[in-house]
Structure 1
Amino acid sequence: MKNRTVNRILYADVIDMGGMPVRQPFPTQQVEQLDPFLLLHHHITHFPEGTIPKLAGVAPHPHRGFSPVTFVYKGGVHHRDSRGNNSTVYEGGTQWMNAGMGIIHSERPPDDIEERGGVQEIIQLWVNLPKSHKMMQPEYIPLQAEDTPLVELEGGKVTVQVVSGEFRGTTGPIKTATPILSLRIFMRAGNSYTFPVPESYQAFLYLLDGQVSYESFGLVESHQLVVLNTDGDSCTITAKKDTRVLLMAGKPIGEPMVSHGPYVMNTQTEILQAMRDYQLGKMGFYTE
């Protein structure tokens, strides 16, 4: 196995998204996308006592042409949409939604968020869809922690949830439109592991917290995203502190991409059509 080299380190600065502070390592002025990955947000919310869940979180909004994916690390997310889906995914679970031709959804804290500590921590990752799937029928896939395969390594000091793709003979339950490897990793301090990554895939590591040493590079701190070059088939990291890492790798789509707000298509004309279709109700109707 050949260890990939580091292309660059992106720091997840805090930005304001509709009044919500989120960490966004990309896109930036320097990095528009990491094909097929379009955007990453790391968000932590502390809900005060007495919060009304149905008035918190993110109100109904549309999407078309890509897959918004939510990895839930603390608390939970209550999803409802214009296709009739109504589901809550809790800590350790994942929501994978292929927006396709268009869907309207809301993302609220669950009714029992206060009993669960009043904290919600999530990563939302936008994954592009190829032209052949941009107008597919929308689908929503809720994956709870107990339904996510867990691989224990180094005597349980390194654990890996396999959400999609294949890792050490274990296949993740989520079937993706293009090949995507999604690994939720936890490493105890002092432990090392070499993670295989398909050689042609775009890949990155994002540290939610802790600190690791990347082989032949050096220290990587929390809230930093490591963009890897496509010059090897593995990445070796050593945890200097207890660390949560998201490892994503995907086969690049390599098509023209035009985005505007919640729409990601191939041409500007298709963006205008998406806006019109939403106004005409062609993405369905959803009111809370």
Structure 2
Amino acid sequence: MKDRSVSAVLTAQTIDMEGIAVKQAFPTQKIENIDPFLLLHHVKTVIPNYINPVKAGFAPHPHRGFSPVTFVFEGGVHHRDSRGNNSIIYEGGVQWMNSGMGIMHSERPPHDIQNFGGKQELVQLWINTPRAHKMDQPQYFPIASAEIPFIKSDDELIEVKIVAGELSGIKGSIQHITPINAYVIKAEKNGKMQLELPSNHNAFLYLLNGQLRIAGLGLVDAETAIKFNNDGKVITIEAIKDLRAIIMTGEPINEPIVAHGPFVMNYEGEILEAMRDYRMGKMGILIED
């Protein structure tokens, strides 16, 4: 089967998010989004032991019109929201939230973050929601590492966790509003694997660390996103060094996108409505305990 060619190589750039240094792979001046994927942030931080975890991380804030998804690679994340959800997900787990009509949430380090040396590493991805579902009721899905099914490469050197969608007949537990595949990759040096992707899906890979070779492109270094063209059925990856990565594929929504801060809608007027509803408390109130 033919490998997909690469349409863009996106080196993550450092930005400031509420005093936290974040690597942003997209959007960039080069590319606005990879429909339906809107934004990718990679966070690596250390929480000093003199800071109360409930005062660190990201304070309560609203969302509407898309799904913020957090992949936990080190440490953990304590999620609280205005719908009463309150859970901690540790290394290897995922927090998946469909914000729908609006929700307030916070993402803090867990109370026991110092058991992990204060280290926290996350990837947050924003996934767009089609217009027909932007005002649905919010949903929250916490998934622990042990609950995520996986497959291994023939050489046993690559593990692929299936968070959402399907791969080789194995289905993930998250059923997103539109067709999505979400894979978390952990590979040892010299591991090689070919992944078959839906031909009508847009797809990208983000490499957190290590180094890999992609057929038809060559070497890819850490903190880089690779956007693929829709001109083949597979991608072939080879680990040059031990690595971790995510691969996302999704059926494009092909609708207008207007984003402002934590809201993603189709038209400017809907952004103004979201801001009004937030100020009026219609997205709920979150008081952290």
TM-score exceeds 0.5? yes
Using the alignment, how far apart are the partners of 1:230 and 1:163 within structure 2? 22
Q: Name 2:75's counterpart in structure 1.
A: 75
Displacement of 1:10: 0.2
Displacement of 1:287: 2.1
Q: Deviations over 1:91-112 (max 9, x none)?
A: 0000000000000001000001
Using the alignment, how far apart are the partners of 1:118 and 1:286 within structure 2? 25
Using the alignment, how far apart are the partners of 2:156 and 2:93 within structure 1? 20
Q: Deviations over 1:147-200 (max 9, x none)?
A: 111212234311011000101110000010000000001111112110111001
Using the alignment, how far apart are the partners of 1:150 and 1:25 within structure 2? 26
- Is residue 210 from structure 1 mapped to residue 210 from structure 2 by the alignment? yes
Q: Name 2:171's counterpart in structure 1.
A: 171
Q: How does 1:77-96 map to 2 (within 5 A)?
A: 77-96=77-96
Using the alignment, how far apart are the partners of 1:137 and 1:216 within structure 2? 43
Q: Deviations over 1:4-26 (max 9, x none)?
A: 00001000011111211000010
Q: Please give the secondary structure, in 1, of the residue aligned with 2:189.
A: coil
Q: Name 2:20's counterpart in structure 1.
A: 20
Decide which moves more: 5-14 or 48-57. 48-57
Q: Identity rate of aligned residues, in percent?
A: 53
Using the alignment, how far apart are the partners of 2:29 and 2:231 within structure 1? 25
Q: What is the letter of the counterpart of residue 54 of structure 1?
A: V
Runs of 4+ in 1 over 4 A off after TM superposition: none
Q: What is the letter of the counterpart of residue 15 of structure 2?
A: I
Q: Name 1:145's counterpart in structure 2.
A: 145
Using the alignment, how far apart are the partners of 1:245 and 1:122 within structure 2? 12
Q: What is the letter of the counterpart of residue 256 of structure 2?
A: P
Contact 2:152–2:160 under 8 Å retained in 1: yes
Q: What is the letter of the counterpart of residue 91 of structure 1?
A: E
Q: How does 1:1-288 map to 2 (within 5 A)?
A: 1-288=1-288
* Unaligned stretches of 5+ residues in structure 2: none
Using the alignment, how far apart are the partners of 2:228 and 2:152 within structure 1? 24
Q: What is the letter of the counterpart of residue 26 of structure 1?
A: F
Displacement of 1:261: 0.2
Using the alignment, how far apart are the partners of 2:51 and 2:155 within structure 1? 41
Q: Deviations over 1:128-160 (max 9, x none)?
A: 000011000001100000111121223431101
Using the alignment, how far apart are the partners of 2:286 and 2:49 within structure 1? 28
Using the alignment, how far apart are the partners of 1:117 and 1:247 within structure 2? 28
Using the alignment, how far apart are the partners of 1:278 and 1:223 within structure 2? 34
RMSD: 0.8
Q: How many residues align?
A: 288
Displacement of 1:50: 2.7
Decide which moves more: 120-129 or 146-155. 146-155
Using the alignment, how far apart are the partners of 1:174 and 1:91 within structure 2? 18
Q: Please give the secondary structure, in 2, of the residue aligned with 1:114.
A: helix
Contact 2:155–2:191 under 8 Å retained in 1: no
Displacement of 1:117: 2.3
Q: What is the letter of the counterpart of residue 77 of structure 1?
A: V
Q: What is the letter of the counterpart of residue 15 of structure 1?
A: I
Q: Please give the secondary structure, in 1, of the residue aligned with 2:270.
A: helix
Q: Please give the secondary structure, in 2, of the residue aligned with 1:271.
A: helix
Using the alignment, how far apart are the partners of 1:160 and 1:34 within structure 2? 22
Using the alignment, how far apart are the partners of 1:193 and 1:97 within structure 2? 30
Q: Deviations over 1:43-63 (max 9, x none)?
A: 011111232110111000000
Displacement of 1:116: 2.1
* Unaligned stretches of 5+ residues in structure 1: none
Q: What is the letter of the counterpart of residue 66 of structure 1?
A: F
Q: What is the letter of the counterpart of residue 279 of structure 1?
A: R
Q: Please give the secondary structure, in 2, of the residue aligned with 1:115.
A: helix
Q: Please give the secondary structure, in 2, of the residue aligned with 1:92.
A: coil
Using the alignment, how far apart are the partners of 1:78 and 1:202 within structure 2? 31
